[in-house]
Copies of this chain bind each other. A is one copy, B any other.
């Protein structure tokens, strides 16, 4: 199977869907002629024409607001927000409108839109090119929230998201765009060409929403992670030698609780890792669910390793980023408890 970067996989997903379904349209800032600042939509305007892939004014509100209107009409817009840090101007349209349209109209109007956006740090992007706002979406009923960790899933889940009848927030860890990143920023960059999950089937294929994946089988403790942190957790397991079972959550909502509970009941220990700030991060929900569902199986407190509760700093990027050392320490502590 061909190996692709995450960017290529994402572009391929849109290409496949635009080819299959005339109702799929793609737009956003710099998305048309230029193909997006991360080049995820490169070539799509040329291939499908300017009325199916186009540049927009710099208004995230307008991008999402018009997408909702188009979805109500019957199209399936897949739009890009240039960085997740810039989604807030569209937050009202997402929360008050996209998320509730089906419900409040009793299904007369629906909102099958996908809102793609690059998330996470590790690229010296400072406060406004590094955020991971997933918890701001998982709190909103009516939305689905997805975070792929590799090219294979990125393509398969983006196709699922475009085909989904409801609004999907599709978060792309930008630090993974060109290669799997395990947090060892001091080491040379690796490429997806060498990673088995860089293998991406051609044409139409899906990875279902709502299903987690076990990235590493293990018996000592369960790690719940998504996006970049899946790779960091793998590094931490390798480096500590702790036999961690690493679950790649993939879809945050709806969550694959079964897979999580099954693993934690087996291992009795759980470490949750994400890059977003700690307080009210999605890790809090995971922690609450784990202890609600596995209380009598837990041998240690569920631990969280996350970004600190500060804005994402520029110079102190690697102090902020939950790297393999910090994650590994949590493994050790959780095993010792």
Query: Is the CB–CB distance between A288 and B284 below 8 Å?
Result: yes
Flag if A311 contacts B142 (CB, 8 Å): yes
* Residues of chain A at interface, number, CB under 8 A: 45
Q: How far is the CA of A128 from the CA of B285 in the complex (A)?
A: 25
CB 8 Å contact bits of A121-137 with B (1 = contact, 0 = none): 00000011000000110
- Which one of A32-40, A205-213, A217-225, A302-310 is at the B interface? A302-310
Given contacts A136-B139, A141-B311, contact A96 B104 (CB under 8 A): no
Query: Which of B100, B127, B128, B304 makes the CB contact (< 8 A) with A311?
Result: B100
Q: How many Å from the CB of A231 to the closest CB on chain B?
A: 24
With a CB–CB cut-off of 8 A, which chain B residues contact A73? none
Is A96's CB under 8 angstroms from B88's CB? yes
- Interface-forming stretch among A12-20, A22-30, A274-282? A274-282
Measured CA separation A85–B136 after assembly (Å): 15
| Known pairs A291-B302, A292-B302; A96 contacts B91 (CB<8 A) | no
Query: Which A residues, 133 to 153, have Cβ-Cβ distances below 8 Å to chain B?
Result: 135-136, 138-142
State A288–B253 Cα separation when bound (angstroms).
Answer: 19
Residues of B close to A135: CB separation below 8 A: 135, 139, 280
- Given the complex, which residues of B lie within 8 Å of A281, measured CB to CB? 139
Contact A277 B96 (CB under 8 A): no
Q: Tell me which residues across on chain B come within 8 A of A292, comparing CB atoms.
A: 287, 301-304
Which B residues lie within 8 Å of A49 (CB)?
none
Contact surface of A with B, Cβ cutoff 8 Å: 85, 88-89, 91-92, 95-96, 99-100, 103-104, 127-128, 135-136, 138-142, 253, 276-277, 279-285, 287-288, 291-292, 295, 298, 300-304, 309-311, 337
Known: A280-B285, A287-B287, A295-B301. 7 other contacts (CB 8 A): A104-B127, A140-B277, A284-B287, A291-B291, A292-B304, A295-B300, A295-B337
Question: 23 A-B residue contacts at CB 8 Å?
Answer: A85-B96, A88-B91, A88-B92, A89-B92, A91-B92, A99-B311, A100-B127, A103-B311, A135-B135, A135-B139, A139-B277, A139-B279, A141-B279, A141-B309, A280-B280, A280-B282, A283-B288, A287-B291, A287-B292, A288-B288, A288-B304, A291-B302, A295-B301
